[in-house]
Structure 1
Amino acid sequence: MMLKTQRRIAASVLKVGEGRVWLDPEDKESISAAVTREDIKKLISERAIQAKQKKGISRYRAKKLHLQRTKGRRKGHGKRSGKKGARLPKKAKWISTIRPIRRKLVELRDSGKIDKATYRKLYSLAKGGVFKSKSHLEMYLKELR
């Protein structure tokens, strides 16, 4: 029993590829009798012809690997291509270092813990890269007093 034409029409009606058209093996006679698009639509409503679900790609493995990377696994030297400065640009590193330091300096100046002259001096030192972090700045201030 040739159902090639019916499959082609059904694919057109269902707006899927011919490979995704499922024809009920028990209704072969009624399907082969269908010649018009209306006949095919009737069979679709009777569930004798259906569109198979599209196959997807499982994200399970990708999610599993991502979870491991969030834990810090799979990030060794063998996995790295590109220099240190390419993975985290020098400027981005500098910005993430200097902004908290400058914020702390403004906070100290506004609260009156340091005067304007000291603020300017410390700001210049920070710009010169003297302080590695906010805690380093605080340690320097403790030694200064």
Structure 2
Amino acid sequence: MLKVQRRLAAQIMKCGINRVKFDSSRMDDIKEAITKRDVKSLISSGAISKGRGLNASRFWARLRKEQKSYNKQKGHGSRKGKRTARLNSKRTWINKIRLQRRYLKSLRDSNAIATHSYHELYMKSKGGFFRSLRHLKLYLNERGLVKDEKR
């Protein structure tokens, strides 16, 4: 019943047939409408209207976002992609090399290491030999390259 009218109204209003709503008080007028023009006039008069679409609620998305701002729900199970997707490998390299170079420069300026050994260490760090600043310090202590015992 009213299948044709519902289909025509959906075409005119550019929506699905389930969103087409009929005014129950004007059902007789709607039953008589058999052409697109008739249905169009009923739409303009308000006998046929477009219902509200069922959209996905943003409530849970907002809740998750708020939780993540408190560093919750960020464990290994919630992550997608590699570690490099979250931590830019270039940025981590820049931070690591700057730290190592700053440390080497401070050692050189305080005459804790010789200039030639500074250059060797600088080139090693540039080549990615040292994993971290701690590795660099360990290397210096093992080789006995640091003159000052505080460092």
Give the 5 Å matches for 1:1-145.
Answer: 2-76=1-75, 79=77, 87-89=82-84, 95-103=90-98, 105=101, 117=116, 120-126=119-125, 127-129=128-130, 130-132=132-134, 143=150
Cα distance in 1 between the residues matched to 2:78 and 2:123? 36
Q: TM-score, normalised by structure 1?
A: 0.64
Instruction: Indicate the SS of the match to 1:35.
Output: coil
Q: Count matched residues.
A: 127
Cα distance in 2 between the residues matched to 1:9 and 1:101? 66
Cα distance in 2 between the residues matched to 1:125 and 1:54? 63
Contact 1:102–1:123 (Cα < 8 Å) also in 2: no
When residues 121 and 97 of structure 1 are mapped into structure 2, their CA distance, relative to the original with a 3 A threshold, is farther
When residues 8 and 101 of structure 1 are mapped into structure 2, their CA distance, relative to the original with a 3 A threshold, is closer
- The CA deviation at 1:75 is 3.8
Cα distance in 1 between the residues matched to 2:64 and 2:53? 25
Instruction: Indicate the SS of the match to 2:133.
Output: coil
Instruction: Indicate the SS of the match to 1:69.
Output: helix
- The CA deviation at 1:119 is 5.1
Counterpart code for 1:72? N
Cα distance in 2 between the residues matched to 1:32 and 1:80? 54
Cα distance in 1 between the residues matched to 2:79 and 2:95? 30
Q: Comparing 63-72 with 122-131, which one deviates more in the overlay?
A: 122-131
Runs of 4+ that moved beyond 4 A? 92-97, 112-119
Counterpart code for 1:100? N
Partner in structure 1 of residue 142 of structure 2:
none
Cα distance in 2 between the residues matched to 1:20 and 1:94? 49
Gaps of 5+ in 1: 134-139
Q: Deviations over 1:87-144 (max 9, x none)?
A: 425xx686444312434638x87xx9599746523424533215149xxxxxx9x856
Cα distance in 2 between the residues matched to 1:24 and 1:11? 15
Q: RMSD value over aligned CA atoms?
A: 3.7
Cα distance in 1 between the residues matched to 2:123 and 2:93? 11
Q: TM-score, normalised by structure 2?
A: 0.62
